[in-house]
Amino acid sequence: GQQVMQIPQYQHVQEGEDFTTYCNSSTTLSNIQWYKQRPGGHPVFLIQLVKSGEVKKQKRLTFQFGEAKKNSSLHITATQTTDVGTYFCAGENAGGTSYGKLTFGQGTILTVHP
Amino acid sequence: GAGVSQSPSNKVTEKGKDVELRCDPISGHTALYWYRQRLGQGLEFLIYFQGNSAPDKSGLPSDRFSAERTGESVSTLTIQRTQQEDSAVYLCASSLRGRGPYEQYFGPGTRLTVT
């Protein structure tokens, strides 16, 4: 079945440093979504990418979708303590029979030291 | 407006007992998902309902797990003869419709502890 791998599992940074998490799918994706889960909270949608090679920015966050639509990345510039949490990617399998079903990566836990 | 709600927020049960978890999706959302999240882990897909289509049950870990949904409203996840490894947070999410891409809105989850 489809697998979505995310690295690194953990990342500790000093406030102000940059952070990147990478997501790789075993199958081609029709789209990929990113979610953030604060400690003790539930996942909250950040963004979705649909087109091959797409790049989207949200303030200090930059999201990329690979040309082959099998990988994606999230980059945070100049981290702040409010960025703390777990970042998940979630992909929908292209050509899958269960439309709308997302496979989540294991997440990257980001810790920001002030 | 109201988001996805789940009840109970916490449930402690003895091994071997049955539990029922409830999810109220956002009104108008035709797709509903159940996930399991063990401590410090990712989201494990359990089951997916989309409108009147047959649910995708491919993620249910055993026949002790079942779920129902009435139309496009409330869903219940039932775990029979609970085991300690069932301890986790059970998250429900809904989205506008299954054929994506549509973002999923998550509820606060039910924390299940099996003693």
pLDDT reported for residue A98: 65
Q: Which tens digit of pLDDT belongs to each residue from A17-65?
A: 999 999 999 999 999 999 999 999 999 999 999 999 999 999 999 999 9
Asked if A105 and B42 count as a contact pair (C-beta separation under 8 A), the reply is: yes
Number of H helices, E strands in chain B: 0, 10
Whether A62 has its CB under 8 Å from any CB of chain B: the answer is no
The label of the residue with tokens 């639509």 reads: A69
Query: Which are the contacts of B87, defined by CB distance < 8 A and separation ≥ 6?
Result: B38, B112, B113, B114
Nearest-angstrom CA–CA distance, B57 and A7: 28
**Which residues make beta-bridge pairs with A94?**
none
Nearest-angstrom CA–CA distance, B78 and A11: 36
Whether A95 has its CB under 8 Å from any CB of chain B: the answer is no
Please report the beta strands in B17-87, taking only residues with DSSP state E, as ranges in sequence order.
19-24, 31-37, 44-50, 65-69, 75-79
Whether B14 has its CB under 8 Å from any CB of chain A: the answer is no
Nearest-angstrom CA–CA distance, B112 and A78: 37
Whether B109 has its CB under 8 Å from any CB of chain A: the answer is yes
**Which residues make beta-bridge pairs with A34?**
A47, A89
The B residues from 59 to 98 touching A (CB cutoff 8 Å) are 91, 93, 95, 97-98
Residue B101 has pLDDT above 70, yes or no: no
Q: What angle do CA A30, A33, A37 make, to 5 degrees?
A: 155
Q: Which tens digit of pLDDT belongs to each residue from B40-57?
A: 888 999 999 988 888 999
Nearest-angstrom CA–CA distance, A14 and A9: 17
